[in-house]
Structure 1
Amino acid sequence: MTTKEIRQAFLDFFAGKGHQIVPSAPIVVKNDPTLMFTNAGMNQFKEIFLGEAPVKYARVADTQRCLRVSGKHNDLEEVGIDTYHHTMFEMLGNWSFGDYFKEEAIAWSWELLTGVYGIPKDRLYVTVFEGDEKEGLPKDQEAYDFWKQWIDEDRILLGNKKDNFWEMGDTGPCGPCSEIHVDCRPDAERKNKDGKALVNADDPQVIEIWNNVFMQFNRLKDGSLQLLPAQHVDTGMGLERLVRILQNKSSNYDTDVFQPLIQFISKESAIAYNQGESNEKTDIAMRVMADHIRAIAFAIADGQLPSNVKAGYVIRRILRRAVRYAYTFLGFKEPFFNKLVPILADQFDGVFPELKAQQDFVQKVILEEEVSFLRTLATGIQRFDKYVAEGNIVDGDFAFELYDTFGFPIDLTELMAREKGLTVDMDGFNRALEVQKARSRAATAVDTGDWIAVNEGEENEFTGYDSQETVAHILKYRKIKAKGKEQYQIVLDRTPFYAESGGQVGDTGFLYPASAGSQEHENSIRITDTKKENALIIHFTDEIPEGFKLQEEVKCVISKERRSDIQNNHSATHLLQAALREVLGTHVQQKGSLVNEDHLRFDFSHFAKVTDEELDRVEAIVNQKVRENIQLKEERNVPFQEALKRGVTALFGEKYGDFVRIITFDDHYSKELCGGTHVKATGQIGYFKIVSESAVAAGVRRIEAITGKAAEAFINEQNKLVATLKTLLKNPKDITRSVESLLEENSKLKKELEKNMYEKAAGFKDELAAQAEKIGAISFIARKLDFGNADAIKNLAYSLKESVDNLFLVLGNDNEGKPALTVMISEDLVEKGFHAGNIIRELAKEIKGGGGGQPFYATAGGKDSSGLEAALEKAKEIAITLAEKA
């Protein structure tokens, strides 16, 4: 069976068991502060397990693309080294939400594996939870007994809490699980050694293939467990491992999942794959590349661009790991990794069509990242070579600098060190790494308390599209602590507060007792932000007043003026995107946005700077639509597929439900899927003004703009500036020509000043040469100057070097309070071990600065001009010391 057939057989099997087949969620997670990436099939159903969303289908099955490269589910360092760990993988899963439970889940997994896929029964082992006395949890006898109906009892193994009790996190739904393992060893090996001992022992030939999780409990903040009101089934089976077994391969990478990629890499590198131990490093490199391109390509397609922060940093790190392996072991010194994207897009066409639809964009982003990193890699290698050439051992701090700044994996540093006959201080490296991790954990640590129930009721009815005020009940609240600050989170049954989503910031406002009749009531709760956590709308406040009666009705009032400004910017963003597509082309796709009360920021796919003329056209189109005062057309609960057929703009990487909301400003101009709040007519925007256009990442541009009052204030400030300039320039008829004349005159004066400086420096040459002090064989010159031109000082230093033998020159300069130092050393002294770069670093301490340079010439800048004399004195001390060596 091919991978495509194996995947489809799974989906068909569970469709036949009454399951709704649903699409994969994006690999990039939104609205969940606990996750960066989808790392398990259950992630998109988390809100159902938490009781925060209703059950739409009692039985569901899918294939979900997952990424495990951070947090406790981190397989990155094993990827490529072994044969069965991956960064991105497909998780085949079936779920029951309060419907069937252990009996059916066990029976169907056995039926599928042995009946449909034909895996021999004598190659299978299953594990069940053995219980935990400390937790007061009994053995999962129920699962054990159900398994006895299908498999010999000596193949049912008991597993501990680590292996057979699944938990979503420190708190939340959890329960015992039952894993299915397959013994892939040859028959002769299986006869010599029982496979039982190899289950959960990291044996590459005895692997876990499927996990049936039985959600029975909820873990509270204090560690205790309570029964869930409904029991659920959550299963996951790794497609890559299943394909390996069914295609009778000893490695996941030998299957048709990875072989098209690996064979292309092998052909282009002219290095054969899987040719024995002598090719182990090149085999690993090919596996790393074939694996990593999947994670990177799908993350970019789902909206996560490589960057230096958070999820973007993770993607950049994976990409650089792949490029490093290609560079080091396969000889790819030019960008190559991006060429794998078309092969991958063809493989997943019809399965995850998002990649094929954005193939060119994804490939160009990866290409730009490769070009940038190959430059960084070359710089890092030069830095390493220079470091060891100076006689340094490879200490832990330096190894960590290469890792942290230049993206070098520690194994690459160790490899380069071995080639030089050196070793790396791994203890020092690990200490530095742990310090960084601790700092990162502290910066992101959030201590979240349990929810405290206040009132009963259905959660999360959002009324903010139709009303800015609502009477509601507080359902529950909890205390959180982040970065040392305590806050409270509140959940209401009804709310007009928009929760941050889709780039639009969350609403602020007040909750106050409905009986009080005034928003200014002394016991009002000030809402500082509103966010989504899965499907839950959460209101943030710094405090809940002591006298506030939480059980009573509250009046919820948003900050209306702030909401109005946000809506102006949000609706303008829709008009902007349509204008960009009209001016630049339909390749323009949104790649990120921020909409708040002050301004809007819109990131979009485009591979060239937007010209001033194009920006003028875009701005003109948007303002024309503003003047037309187009009425908002809002459609709610439109079937998703129907919306797509109508040609609406949808975002790649966004998780849409079965029903969506369409925002239209003129059927022939702007139609988008959007959950945000908007103006009733475009005239309310007032005026739209672009204030900047820039590059964000490879293939992504950013426009920042303002509307309404902010745009009016901006224009007024510009008018005041022009008026001031006119006054200063004596009210010329042509202000532009007057400024150009001033610039021309200034340029001429600067050139004359520079000429005078050069002449002044040239006049100093003979004077300084005559003042050279003999210190042993050294001709020492130290002088404080007051030049305003660094090039003049440099020319003076080079001129003295040509005319004074054994020169050791130190010049101090104070240019309007900015101290600088210059050191020039003759070639004869350099050959005797003098080094201007090392000397300048010592001298720069006196002016509270730093610097460096070549062995014969170096410069430094600082903050303290009063230290220049001390620096010159220290230079003489250094000269005396070095004279003894010379």
Structure 2
Amino acid sequence: MKSQDIRKAYLNFFESKGHLIVPSAPIVLKDDPTLMFNNSGMAQFKEYFLGNGTPKSPRIADTQKCLRVSGKHNDLEDVGFDTYHHTMFEMLGNWSFGDYFKKDALAWAWEFLTEVLKLDKDRLYVSVFEGNPAENVPFDQDAFDIWKQYVSEDRIILGNKKDNFWEMGDQGPCGPCSEIHIDIRSDEERAITSGRDLVNADHPQVVEIWNNVFMEFNRKADGSLEKLPAQHVDTGMGFERLCMAMQNVTSNYDTDVFTPLIEKVEQITGLKYTSNEVKNVSEEQNKTNIAIRVIVDHVRAVAFAIADGQLPSNTGAGYVIRRILRRAIRYGFTFLNTKEPFINKLVEVLANQMGEFFPEIKSQQQLVTNVIREEEASFLRTLDQGLQLLDKVVAETSVNEVSGAKVFELYDTFGFPKDLTALILKEKGYSYNEEEFESELQKQKARSRAASEVSTEDWSVLIPGNVETFVGYDQTENEVKITRIRKVDSKKDGILYQIVLDNTPFYPEGGGQVGDKGTLVSANETIDIIDTKKENNLILHFAKQLPENIEAGFVAKVNTDLRTSTSKNHSATHLMHLALRNILGTHVEQKGSLVNPNYLRFDFSHFSKVSDEELRQVEASVNAQIEAQLQLVEHRNIPIKEALDKGAMALFGEKYGDSVRMIEFGESKELCGGIHVKNTAEIWHFKIISEGAVAAGIRRIEAITGDAVKDFYKNQESTLAEIKETLKNPQDILKSVASLQDDNAKLKKQIEQLLKEKIDGLKNTLVSDFQEINGINFLAKQVDLSMSTTKDLAQAIGTSKPNSFVFLASVEDNTPNIHCYISKELVAEKSLNAGNIIRELGKYIDGNGGGQPFFASGKGKNVNGVKEALEKSVDFVK
């Protein structure tokens, strides 16, 4: 069966068992602060397991895009070296929320594998949880008894907590699980060693394909377990591994999930990939195979993340995506000899292959291609810089072992991978101190852990079963009761309290809009709410202290000044989005936004810089909509199909329910859950502050509204008044500034001419000071010139005589600088190197530098060392 047929068969089977089929959630999570990425099929359903929401059906099935590259679930370093770990993978899942349990889940799993897919029963093994008396969790007798109806007892394996007890995290829903493993080895191998002995032993052909998790318990902060009020089923089957079993191959990479991508890499590089069936490949071929596996795996992860709205960057989830892509680029650079961007060419293959089931990769194909191409070009430049820096490190090393701290600096500061460093050093006859590198790495990890360390207590529930309601669209002040609280202690923020209310006017951070701030006021005290966020369908109000009487009644009051400013910026964002699409074209799509009280930031897809004229048109369009006094038209809980039929824009990478909120201002129609003005006239005025590039094909505009615009124009007026005063209050300021510019240009020309004459004069004077030492024309002098002029003089003097060695120094703004010119014939014949000489003599001025073998420059801090540097320069020619 082809992979697409396998996926369809799975979904059709569970649809026949009464499951609602839902689309994959975005791979990038935007409303769960505990996770960067969807790392399992159940992540989008966490709120249902926690009892904070009601699913649209008690039975659901899907295939979920997952990414495991950070935190507890991290498979990154295994990818490429084995044949069954991936960064991005698909998880086929079926879910029961308080409906069916172990009997049906296991029966249907067996039916699908053996009757629908017709996998060989003799190749299947199952496992059940053996129990853990220390945690008061018994052996899973129910699962064991159910499996005995389908397999002999010798095919049922008892698993420990590591393999057969699944937990969402340190706290939260958890329970025993029952895995299904398949043995795809040859009959000859199976005759020698039983597959039973290889289950969970990391054998590449005896692998887990399906995990049935039975959510029975809740893990509390102290580690203890309590029974959940309802029992759930959470299953996950590795799609790529299932394809391997169904297509009669022994590697995920030999399935049609990956072979089209591999063939494209072969076509681009001219190198061949050998399948897992080919044994005893050479070491060189094995390196090629690993590199190709890394690239075809990583391009999937990066492409889908970008399509879902996560651009590569230097922080957070964006940094993880950049790191994955750079790992792929580096493997191509090192082992496939690819020195030009090429990974972006795989996106078209991926879009054609998976676009039918995941339409986002097709619709965002051009953007994904552009972003990856630019990231490739940027990192290839970094690799070139790294090679130069490595040459410098080697030149400064007197022994054959380079400092591990230096290698770590290359890795940490410049992104230069340690194994590439090791490879290049080996070619030069060097190694590096691995213990020192590892020590620096552990220090950094310890700093990172300390900065992000968080301790979270269990919820204290005051009002059980309450379903919190948001009333903030209509009210900014409301009577409330506290329903639950918990304490969170982090290195970053210190001790904070998360408070949940029975109803709240506070808007939680989401859709680019920051969370509300305000107060909780009782008869006796006032508690400041410093932020509001949403987690697993709960609205969390953050405070630095708890009320003395948490059971009292409170009035929740939103800071209306901040909210009003934020709402102006949010509504202006919608108006600007429409203006950009009208002026630049309908290819413009939102790719990120930030809306706070001070300004708005909007990232959007566009292929070139937005011209000044286009920005003026956008500003004019938005301000025209403000002046038109457009009334807000709000549709709450409208069916998503109806909203889209009305022309509402949906954003890629956002997860929408069956019912949505639609916001209209005239022609502007968007799905949005944020806070808006009632009439565009409230915005007062819109002003763009900046426009620039974020990534390939992504531009960013920052703008202000309302009072911020008033302050902006006041500052402009003040600056203009200062300029007028400085220019002695001319009648025509522009004419006065133009005159100054003309005068400045004339003076610059005069200075350049004078400097040229000065250099010519000094050159003629200094040429007579050359000394001949060992057949070398040597000159070392300090001159009273700027750094750039001294550099020009050194080159002019050096080219005036053959076999010349010129070393000049000068001091500019109390900063010493040095320059060395060596005739090219001396570089070749005498092995003199200006770069090495500058680095050596730079020590006397507490500085450094570098350049080419025939010319180099440097600067330092110690003016008093100039004389000694000049004196020591002669040692290189004696």
TM-score computed with the length of structure 1 as normaliser: 0.93
How many Å separate the matches in 2 of 1:456 and 1:686?
A: 45
Q: Give 1:124 shift.
A: 0.8
Deviation at 1:715, TM superposition (A): 1.4
2:868 pairs, out of 852, 874, 878, with 874
CA contact (8 A) 2:807 2:870 kept: no
Q: Deviations over 1:233-255 (max 9, x none)?
A: 11100111111111111111111
Partner of 2:405: 397
| Percentage of identical aligned residues | 57
Q: What does residue 115 of structure 1 align with?
A: 115
Most deviating of 275-284 and 603-612: 275-284
Using the TM superposition, give the Cα deviation of residue 325 of structure 1 relative to its aligned residue in structure 2, in angstroms: 2.6
Rounded Cα–Cα distance in structure 1 between residues aligned with 2:260 and 2:859? 55
Q: Which amino acid in structure 2 is aligned with residue 358 of structure 1? A: Q
On the 8 A contact 2:632/2:677 being kept in 1, the answer is yes
Partner of residue 714 from structure 1, selected from 703, 712, 715: 712
| CA deviations over 1:28-85 (Å, ceiling 9, x no partner) | 0112222111110000011111222234321111100101111121112222221111
Does residue 801 (structure 1) correspond to residue 801 (structure 2)? The answer is no
Query: Structure 1, residues 845-873: CA drift from partner, whole Å, max 9, x if none?
Result: 676654333445443345x5xx31x2124
Residue 529 (structure 1) aligns with: 531
Aligned position for 1:315: 321
Give CA deviations for 1:529-583 in whole Å, capped at 9, x if unaligned: 11112312111112225xx210011110011011000000000000000000000
**Amino acid corresponding to residue 310 of structure 2 in structure 1:** Q
Instruction: Give 1:784 deviation, angstroms.
Output: 6.2
| Structure 2 counterpart of 1:300 | 306
Report the equivalent of 1:165: 165
Verify the 8 A CA contact 1:455 1:551 in the aligned structure 2: no
The worse-fitting range, judged by mean Cα deviation, of 769-778 and 639-648 is 769-778
CA distance in 2, matches of 1:728, 1:825: 45
> Deviations along 1:221-276, whole A, 9 cap, x unmatched?
11111111111111100111111111111111111211122222223333333164
Greater mean deviation of Cα atoms: 562-571 or 347-356: 347-356
Separation in structure 2 between the aligned mates of residue 110 and residue 4 of structure 1, nearest angstrom: 21
In the TM superposition, what whole-angstrom CA distance separates every residue of 1:91-131 from its partner, at most 9, and x where no partner exists?
A: 00011111111111111111111111111211111111111
Distance 2:161 2:18 in 1: 32
Q: Which amino acid aligns with 2:483?
A: L
CA distance in 2, matches of 1:478, 1:860: 58
How do 1:47-196 residues align onto structure 2 when only pairs under 5 Å count? 47-196=47-196
Aligned to 1:696: 694
Q: Structure 1: which amino acid aligns with 2:793?
A: L
- The answer to whether the Cα contact below 8 Å between 1:808 and 1:879 also exists between their aligned partners in 2 is no
Q: Which residue of structure 1 aligns with residue 518 of structure 2?
A: 509
Q: Structure 1, residues 788-821: CA drift from partner, whole Å, max 9, x if none?
A: x433222222344356886563423133xx5131
CA contact (8 A) 1:457 1:475 kept: no
SS in 2 for 1:486: strand
Q: CA deviation at 1:369?
A: 1.6
Q: CA deviation at 1:767?
A: 5.7
CA distance in 1, matches of 2:727, 2:181: 84
> Which string of whole-angstrom CA distances, capped at 9 and with x for unpartnered residues, describes residues 326-376 of structure 1?
333334333221111122112222311111111111111112222222222
**Could you tell me whether the CA contact under 8 Å between 2:95 and 2:234 is conserved in 1?**
yes
Q: Which residue of 1 aligns with 2:288?
A: 282
Q: How much does 1:424 deviate? A: 4.2
Q: Would the alpha carbon gap of residues 598 and 825 (structure 1) be closer, same or farther in structure 2, given more than 3 Å must change?
A: same
Instruction: Report if aligned partners of 1:843, 1:871 keep a CA contact under 8 Å in 2.
Output: no
Secondary structure, in 3 states, of the residue corresponding to 2:133? coil
Read off the aligned partner of 2:539 and give its amino acid letter: I
The answer as to whether partners of 2:791 and 2:819 remain within 8 angstroms in 1 is: no
Change (3 A) 1:31 1:460: same
Following the alignment from structure 2 to structure 1, what is the Cα–Cα distance between the partners of residues 488 and 683? 38
Measure, in 2, the Cα distance between the counterparts of 1:434 and 1:647: 53
Cross-structure match for 1:572: 572
Q: Please tell me the residue identity of whatever aligns with 1:302.
A: D
Distance in 2 (alpha carbons) for counterparts of 1:422 and 1:131: 53
| Counterpart AA for 2:537 | A
Tell me which amino acid in the other structure corresponds to 1:541. Answer: A
- 1:833 shift after superposition: 6.5
Superposed CA offset, 1:693-749 (max 9, x none): 111111110111000011111112212323333344354454323212211111211
Q: 1:483 to 1:840 in 2, by over 3 A?
A: farther
Q: Secondary structure at the match of 2:663?
A: strand
Deviates more, 1:834-843 or 1:405-414: 834-843
- Secondary structure at 2:341's aligned position in 1? coil
Residue 354 of structure 1 pairs with residue 353 of structure 2: no
Q: For the residues of structure 2 that align with 1:301 and 1:826, how far apart are their CA atoms?
A: 53
CA contact (8 A) 1:758 1:792 kept: no
C-alpha deviation, 1:158, in angstroms: 0.6
CA-to-partner distance for each residue in 1:269-316, whole Å, 9 max, x for gaps? 333331641332222222222222211111000001111222111111
Aligned-residue Cα RMSD (Å) equals 2.5
SS of 1:41 mapped into structure 2: coil
Contact 2:787 2:817 in 1 (8 A): no
Q: Is the CA contact 1:174–1:219 (under 8 Å) kept in the aligned structure 2?
A: yes
Aligned to 1:822: 818
SS of the residue 2:42 aligns to: helix
Give, in whole Å, the separation in 2 of the partners of 1:93 and 1:540.
35
Asked whether the 8 Å contact 2:265–2:292 carries over to 1, the reply is yes
* 1:499 lines up with 2:495 in the alignment: no
For 2:206, the equivalent position in structure 1 comes to 206
Identify the residue that residue 481 of structure 1 maps to in structure 2: 489
Deviations 1:592-632 (A, max 9, x none): 11111111111100110000010000100000000001000
Distance 1:704 1:554 in 2: 38
AA aligned to 1:874 is E
CA contact (8 A) 2:787 2:812 kept: no
SS at match of 1:31: coil
What are the residue-to-residue correspondences of 1:281-680 with 2, within 5 Å?
Answer: 281-385=287-391, 387-388=393-394, 392-483=400-491, 485-513=494-522, 516=523, 523-544=525-546, 548-666=548-666, 669-680=667-678
Mapped to 1, the partners of 2:312 and 2:468 lie a distance apart of: 34
Aligned 8 A contact 1:782 1:872 in 2: no
The number of equivalent residue pairs is 865
2:25 pairs with 1:25: yes
Confirm or deny: 8 A CA contact 2:520 2:557 kept in the other structure.
Answer: yes
Q: 1:208-223 maps to which residues of 2 (within 5 A)? A: 208-223=208-223
CA 664–363 in structure 1, closer or farther in 2 if over 3 Å, else same: same
Q: From the superposition, tell whether residues 399 and 814 of structure 1 become closer, same or farther in structure 2 (CA, over 3 Å).
A: closer
- Do 2:347 and 2:365's aligned partners in 1 also have CA atoms closer than 8 Å? yes
CA contact (8 A) 1:477 1:491 kept: yes
**Distance 1:218-1:759 versus aligned 2 partners, 3 A rule:** same
